[in-house]
Chain A
Amino acid sequence: MSLAARDRRLGWGLVAPALAWTVAFFVLPFAAMVALSFARMEGREIVPAFDPGNYARFFSEWPLFKALLNSMEITVVVTVVSVLLAYPLAAIIAFRVPVRWQRLALLMAVLPFWTSYVVRSYAWLLVLGQNGVLNKALLGAGLIAEPLEIAATRTATVIGFVHFFVMLLTLTIYANLVQLPTNYARAARDLGAGPVQVFRFVILPLTLPGVVTGAFLTFVLCMGDYITPQILGGNNELTLPQLIMLQLGRSGNFPLASALSVVLMAVITLAYLLSSRWLRVDRV
């Protein structure tokens, strides 16, 4: 056997375990789920079939389709708000905070990231609830007469999400900002660009891939998250993941849950295709 062929065989040997794992526990299950989404429920029995009925239900029954819309609306709002809040924060840390304090500032900015995800949503409930810290403070200050009803609304879900993703995006964007060679901005200034123009024509375009990658991750994580809307949003306005879990739990309708997951997957794929031009997922 030639050296090149031996080299390739060794390469395959090294990749094989990871590949096998990914195929067995990612590709195959996904195929199984797609297959299941075409099955039928008869009573509590799952009957294998090729029946697009679950998808037909999704597009015809308003409460089901509404869940997708809810998820999309929340996700888009969360993604946009998080990016808009995180970019200035990352920029201030990168350009205004003295270099020796930057790592500390960054560490502090993402410290609550390390609390348990479930606990973080719960903590927001303590802040936003009817007897929560926020209402008590506002009432005490005489700013409101009646407690605000934020908990168990979409606003609470959005606040919880934004809190999480601002931390994540600050990290991503900061990493992008500090690796910019300072000479780019200097060169632009030297050529007569003002601060706004430097940002608009130099810094923003160069950090855009990082921002888009962060925004895409935000989109994926937010779109597929069950915990935050379940704890903070309550059961009034269901998101797609909540609906999927509901189908699994209460009604045991596995095929419908699978179909909804396929829809979720389709939306994420669409987002991927739309942002793929700027995505650097393998370089996060």
Chain B
Amino acid sequence: MGGKDRVPPSPILSPWRRWEALGPIAGLFWRGSVWLYLAAAYAFIFLPVVVLVVFSFQDGRLPVPPMQGVSLKWYAKVLADRDLMAALAHSALVAGVSSAVSLMLGFLAAHGLARSVLPGSVWLRGLLIAPMTVSSLIIALGLLSLFQQTGVRLSLLTVGVGHVVINLPLCFAICYAAMGDHQKAAERAARDLGASEPRVLWLVSAPMLAPALAAAFFLSVTFSWDEFIIAFLLTRFDVTLPVEIWSMLRSGLSPATNAVGSLVFLVSVVAVVGTEAVRRRA
């Protein structure tokens, strides 16, 4: 790559020529800077996570240097915290149910739009994708005004409704993109062999799309699990984990927050690495 294939435009010593004169040194420099960049990027990306995890073991009161010794007491404190554990359960519930609903609605809609020629299908697709291109703050505020004007009580259910709004476009888009000609041909063959529409969906479309469906569900769960603003605005008493962590922050820096964050991180990493391992074996 050093530039041997480059013909200098003029006999005058151009900047390129000078590079060429440097020859292998320039190549080394270039290659070195590539790896340096990679290392710097990883350092930047991992810096906050490393700090987070390291100071979750802090023996002192503050999660900042100096490190006053290693202790697991913050983990013990966090795991014994009732509110936190309740929030964790709420988050899991909302994430699971809202993702399942999103996936079902998104899959059916994608199937409908892929199999039939509907008038205005471009607009329909646009409408279904639209919530993805809008800030969750706006979606949350809109739902809040709707619920207030119609007198709906805020609860985990209203949070779930909001999470379906943001995850439905994602599930729809993933399913729709995964439905190729191959898929359509197989569905057509199934119909030809006498399968009713529900059976086409259940026996052919869904199994063929299994990887896409799993990816959509997994991403939905992740987004819902981590979503803050909708969960913050649309529930009063039964809060989710991000909202609970938020309220912990308001009482200042504490290694307890580090411990919670590290635990959440650990669970996510295990999930991601697990998915990756399964994917690799398949």
Contact = CB atoms under 8 A, between A and B. Distances in A.
A133 B64 contact: yes
B116 A272 contact: no
B257 A15 contact: no
Given A10-B112, A26-B142, A257-B141, A282 B45 contact: no
Interface in A1-55: 7-8, 10-15, 17-19, 21-22, 25-30, 32-33, 36
Given A111-B49, A224-B137, A17 B257 contact: no
Contacts of B72: none
A209 interface: no
Contacts of A123: 48-49, 51-52, 258, 261
B10 interface: no
B228 A117 contact: yes
A163 interface: yes
B177 interface: yes
A116 B131 contact: no
A21 B105 contact: yes
A242 to B, nearest CB: 10
Contact of B253 (A29, A126, A194): A126
A248 B106 CA distance: 32
B37 interface: yes
Nearest to B5: A194
A264 interface: yes
A107 B197 contact: no
A58 interface: no
Contacts of B65: 131-133, 136
Interface stretch (A62-70, A84-92, A176-184, A200-208): A84-92
Given A11-B118, A127-B48, A92 B137 contact: no
Contacts of A18: 105-106, 108-109, 128, 168, 172
Interface string A103-117: 100011101101111
B138 interface: yes
Given A126-B52, A166-B45, A268-B135, A231 B34 contact: no
Contacts of A174: none
Nearest to B143: A29
Nearest to A15: B112
Interface stretch (B75-83, B209-217, B240-248): B240-248
B268 A114 contact: yes
A244 interface: yes
Given A8-B117, A258-B145, A22 B48 contact: no
A80 B3 CA distance: 30
Given A111-B272, A114-B265, A264 B137 contact: yes
Interface residues of B, number: 90
Contacts of A163: 44-45, 48
B274 to A, nearest CB: 12
Given A89-B41, A123-B49, A19 B145 contact: no
B184 interface: no
Contacts of B5: 189, 194
Contacts of B135: 220-221, 223-225, 241, 264-265, 268
A109 B118 contact: no
Contacts of B127: 19, 22, 27
B157 to A, nearest CB: 12
B133 A11 contact: no
Pick from A13, A25, A163, A257 the residue with the most CB of B within 10 Å. A25
A265 B130 CA distance: 12
A55 B64 CA distance: 44
A10 B197 contact: yes
A13 B253 CA distance: 52
A78 B37 CA distance: 19
A96 interface: yes
Interface in B116-165: 116-118, 124-125, 127-139, 141-143, 145-146, 148-149, 161-162, 164-165
Given A107-B276, A282-B176, A115 B3 contact: no
A1 to B, nearest CB: 14
CB-based closest 4 A-B pairs: A224-B135, A11-B116, A14-B112, A29-B142
Interface of A: 7-8, 10-15, 17-19, 21-22, 25-30, 32-33, 36, 85, 88-89, 92-93, 96-97, 103, 107-109, 111-112, 114-120, 122-127, 129, 131-133, 136, 163, 166-167, 189, 194-195, 216, 220-221, 223-227, 231, 241, 244, 248, 254, 257-258, 261, 264-265, 268, 272, 281-284
15 contacts: A13-B112, A15-B112, A17-B109, A25-B143, A26-B131, A85-B41, A89-B38, A107-B273, A109-B41, A112-B46, A114-B222, A133-B51, A136-B65, A136-B66, A265-B134
Given A118-B245, A224-B136, 12 more contacts: A10-B197, A11-B117, A25-B164, A32-B146, A33-B141, A89-B41, A111-B46, A115-B265, A118-B246, A129-B253, A131-B65, A258-B145
